[in-house]
Chain A
Amino acid sequence: MIKITNLEKFYRTEEVETIALNKLSIEVKTGEFVAIMGPSGCGKSTLLNILGMLDDPDEGSYVFNGIEVAHFTERKRADLRKHNIGFVFQSFNLIDELTVFENVELPLIYTGVPSAERVKRVEEVLDKMQIMHRRNHYPQQLSGGQQQRVAIARAVVNKPKLILADEPTGNLDSSNGNDVMELLTDLNEQGTTIIMVTHSEHDARYSHRIIRLLDGQSVVENIMV
């Protein structure tokens, strides 16, 4: 599904140039559950952003589903993204002014799903995440675990082929964290490819494979058994 080769990303500020990714090559197959680990600042988020087509690499190739997207225009990337990829963040990133239902509905609006269909699909996914009873609440009124479930509901409502999760349990206690990991595992078992950044060896154990990054380079790949 994903194949990156010799990917490079630099950040230039006035004085320094940071190499966030240094000739990184990774492959992820459809249906895999991959964990990315590494010290803070080693380029995990940068990698995830590029994989999610939120950012483009400076050098190298990125083939998504057989298409070279490294130098796609913003518009094409956005189009590919909204139909194929769902995001889950450490800090949930729900919109405070919208209710649970409206937050989850948003991706469907942007992909042009008709209103009746939207209601059906949002209710379906809220049901699955067991937060249906909170549908009219605002994010501020929910616990962290509930907020993250809403965020996952929002990420999967469009039935993406790939879910990118950046430290999804980072802001949660262990019990809530485990719930989230169970959800992701379920999704993976239903066929969704998942790439997850995490600091927790415990969480990483849910995945099939761990990619360890150090200073923008892949060091080891552990295959879980």
Chain B
Amino acid sequence: MIKNYIKTAYRTLLKNKGFTVLNVLGLSLGLASCLLIIFYVVDELSYDRYNTKADRISRVNEDLKLGENNVLYAVCMPPLAQALKNDFPYVEDAVRLKNGGSRHVKKGGVNILENKTVFADPSLFNVFTLPMINGSPATALTEPNSVVLTETTAKKYFNSTNVIGKTLTFDDNIFYKVSGVIRDIPRQSHFDFDFFISMSTLPDSRSTEWLRSDYNTYVLFKNAGDHKKLEAALPAFLNKYSGEQMQAQLKMSMAAFEKGGSFFRLNLTPLTDIHLKSNRTGELGPNGTTQYVYIFSAIALFILLIACVNFMNLSTARSANRAREVGVRKVLGSLRKHLIAQFLIESILVAFAATVIALTAAIALLPAFNQLSGKDIIVNSQTMVWLIPALLLIVLVVGALAGSYPAFYLSAFQPIAVLKGKLSAGFKGSGLRSFLVVLQFSISIFLIVGTLVIYNQLNYIQTKNLGYNRNEVLIVQNTFELGNRANVFKKEIKQLPGVVNATMTGFLPTSNWKNTAIFFKDAAFDQKKALFPQTWEVDEDYIKTLDMKMAVGRSFSSQMLTDSSGIIINESAAKFLGLKDPLNKPLYRSNGGKQDISNSKEYHIIGVVKDFNFSSLRDVISPMVLVLANNPGALSVRVNTKNLPVVLSQIKDKWKGLTPNIQIDFSFMDQDFDASYRAEQRVGTIFIVFTALAIIIACLGLFGLAAYAAEQRTKEIGIRKILGASIAAIAGMLSFDFLKLVLIAILISLPVGWFLMNKWLQEFAYRVNIQWWVLVLAGFTSIFIALITIGFQSIKAALSNPVNSLRSE
């Protein structure tokens, strides 16, 4: 019996090649897109799960509120990890990591700049699952000046992983002994380092200060539920240690501190939440956001929905043609259940074929998708473990849903009625089909709106006046390598023809250098009025080189000896401080610890710089101050592009002249800027690609339906033509039936799209408004696309000779 079903199914499908191809193609395309996005989402969701103890690990964070300033840190106090181990028996272990920044590591005679270095406690290998190839996990990081390398790094420096006991030279004069080699850090890890240096190397790691935070601290609990217990115990714990030091240094109890509206709290983030949910100051690396996971999941769902709707629409449309077959089969003795089985099997068979094609296509397209998404997803046998059952489920659900209309509806007909042709199963009659087309197009139009809004916002980010000019600025990184010759370097560079200006500092709007300090408006040191600004050390050429504008006052000057106590604030800081006329007003910088005149530095405001964006456009520009200091972090050079290659080689020569052993490392400010929005750019591209796919799939369906509708109405079209209808009138009539549905979809989706995309834009402090033309364009685009799709079929039908369509009599 089954064999007979499959045979009939196969033949019916073959007989209607056009429909079958359209149907299978649409579903495969949809499923393949959906699969790629699912890979992406699963990848995002499985960060840090490589740790076998992942569900027992949490990171300790600090939330600080000081007056109006609120900072969320991913780091904690130096002695915290040890104290947690001492005080709480359910804390099995704790580990501190401290970003080691950029270091030069010698290979042969050349110093190579390495950015992925970190200091780590010996307990690292007990908490995290970082399998060691060589060396002893228990002791690898106990001795000072020892370093554990990843496999790739070991091979890079020694061409071997058998390197225990070998020495690596850091920064030309520091020697670390290799004490272990671990496997490369899994791709899905929230941190990614190549060099793990023993924490004991760092004298500061033995600090007992409880009032500053700069160590990423992770706790391993004995049991998975213990983090709740610890979270409850943290306030008292903090009061015990920090409170004591606060009393001693600030002459203030924790209670009094909190009474002033400020606070100082600890909390926990489960390890597996870090990648998607944590975006604090002092993260070990850039994290993702849940937002994109939601957005992409929604797109995947949409595409799957559109593809399934297509499949159902086309299947049911075609099945109406088979009413006669049902009648004949029934007359010949077929039972209803046989017909149900036949239709279901046919539909599941098609769904299965589509799924196989989709899986193959998704795997084939994975490299391209990785490029697009900036990911490195691989599909292996582990993926298949969950993928195959999931796909089989989809096959069954989609196949059964699509097959259920013909199966249960058609099989119920009385054979006599069907054979007499009473049943026209008119196309117009199907409200369900109309509803599904409206649904498909609503989604497509919504995606068009989404794409346009995202595109506009990205464009806005690219072209917004940021308050400085990032074009034609070359940044020579790590000028601290030059030591006290850094200033010589700057002087020499400034003299080069083609160089407009140059400024020496690591604090740049496009760099990750950040530094906050505490300032008070008056000597009363009122906690509530404390200013907690970005405090950047710059030189007298900073404002001019970066093309920033002064609102009032002047920039620093080398001529003014008093400028070492001068300070420039930005407009936000002036507003925060409530200063109408800020020039020459004092500002007191707290030196931590006790807050009195003797222990703080007094500045006077010499100018107000116009606000410039120095963090993501997602955030409002926060208060910032600039102080005059020698900071040799980097040299930013404004150049004249006409002779860039020449200037560049001259700069390289100067660098070589000063330090022949260290390679110069430079970048361009506009590229650094673009890099910081790469995530957004990627999302934008992915959105566009998948929106296009969604629309194509919807159009495939519409194309099929239009063909079907035209076929159903050939007789009517013939009659109308004989009665004098013009081709245009008929094509118009056929098109309008669908266009009506598209119009309804527009009415539904434009308001929804407007609302949801506005919500997305709220994430940006600096954003575009959704222009009316975006909505109009989305509407017209959909009408245009639909018209092309339907128009072809309608005109074809309208052109046919009526004599042929009426010949069947």
Identify the A interface with B (CB < 8 A): 49, 52, 54-55, 78, 81-82, 87, 89-91, 93-97, 106-107, 110-111, 140, 154
Contact = CB atoms under 8 A, between A and B. Distances in A.
Nearest to A91: B809
A89 B379 CA distance: 65
B803 A90 contact: no
A154 B723 contact: yes
**Nearest 8 Cβ contacts at the A-B interface:** A82-B724, A110-B724, A107-B723, A91-B809, A54-B803, A93-B719, A95-B716, A49-B803
12 contacts: A54-B802, A55-B803, A81-B724, A87-B723, A89-B806, A90-B809, A96-B424, A106-B720, A106-B723, A107-B724, A111-B724, A140-B422
B426 interface: yes
Interface string B137-166: 000000000000000000000000000000
Nearest to A110: B724
Interface in B704-743: 715-716, 718-726, 729
Nearest to B808: A91
A39 to B, nearest CB: 17
Contacts of A52: 722
Contacts of A87: 722-723
Contacts of B424: 96
Contacts of B726: 78, 110
Interface string B797-809: 0000111001001
B715 A93 contact: yes
B428 interface: yes
A89 B809 CA distance: 9
B801 A82 contact: no
A55 B801 contact: yes
Nearest to A55: B803
Contacts of A91: 809
Given A89-B806, A89-B809, A110 B725 contact: yes
Nearest to A54: B803
A95 B724 contact: no
B428 A95 contact: no
A107 B721 CA distance: 10
A142 B568 CA distance: 93
B252 to A, nearest CB: 85
B428 A97 contact: yes
A49 B729 CA distance: 22
A5 to B, nearest CB: 22
A28 to B, nearest CB: 20
A170 to B, nearest CB: 9
B806 A93 contact: yes
A110 B728 CA distance: 12
A96 B720 CA distance: 12
Contacts of A111: 724
Interface range on chain B (Cβ under 8 Å from partner)? 20 to 34
Contacts of A82: 723-724
Contacts of B722: 52, 54, 81, 87, 93
A165 to B, nearest CB: 13
Contacts of A106: 720, 723, 725
Contacts of A81: 722, 724
Contacts of B721: 78
A78 B722 CA distance: 8
Contact of A97 (B716, B729, B803, B806): B716
Contacts of B426: 96-97
A93 B726 CA distance: 18
Interface string B416-460: 000000101010100000000000000000000000000000000
A78 B803 contact: no
Interface string B780-809: 000000000000000000000111001001
B809 A95 contact: no
Nearest to A79: B724
A110 B716 CA distance: 15
Most buried by A among B428, B718, B722, B803: B722
Nearest to B729: A110
Contacts of A110: 720, 723-726, 729
Nearest to B725: A110
Contacts of B716: 95-97
A37 to B, nearest CB: 18
Nearest to A86: B723
B501 to A, nearest CB: 75
Contacts of B723: 82, 87, 106-107, 110, 154
Contacts of B719: 93-95
Nearest to A82: B724
Given A87-B723, A106-B725, A140-B422, 16 more contacts: A78-B721, A78-B726, A82-B723, A82-B724, A89-B809, A91-B809, A93-B718, A93-B719, A93-B806, A95-B716, A96-B426, A96-B716, A106-B720, A110-B723, A110-B725, A110-B726
A205 B723 CA distance: 29
Contacts of A54: 722, 801-803
Contacts of B729: 110
Nearest to A83: B724
A34 B800 CA distance: 30
A222 to B, nearest CB: 27
A96 B716 CA distance: 8
A87 B806 CA distance: 12
A81 B802 CA distance: 13
Contacts of B801: 54-55
Contacts of A140: 422
Interface string B630-656: 000000000000000000000000000
B274 to A, nearest CB: 62
B711 to A, nearest CB: 16
Nearest to B424: A96
Contacts of A93: 715, 718-719, 722, 806
A19 to B, nearest CB: 17
B724 A78 contact: yes
A90 B808 CA distance: 11
B720 A95 contact: yes
A162 B340 CA distance: 52
Contacts of A90: 809
B427 to A, nearest CB: 10
B368 to A, nearest CB: 45
Interface in B328-367: none
A95 B424 CA distance: 12
Contacts of A94: 719
A94 B720 CA distance: 10
Nearest to B717: A95
A154 B722 CA distance: 12
Nearest to A93: B719
B499 to A, nearest CB: 75
Nearest to A171: B809
A93 B801 CA distance: 15
Nearest to A50: B803
Nearest to B716: A95
Contacts of B724: 78, 81-82, 107, 110-111
A155 to B, nearest CB: 9
A82 B806 CA distance: 18
Nearest to B722: A87
A83 B480 CA distance: 95
A100 B455 CA distance: 54
A111 B729 CA distance: 12
A90 B807 CA distance: 11
A185 B723 CA distance: 22
Contacts of B422: 140
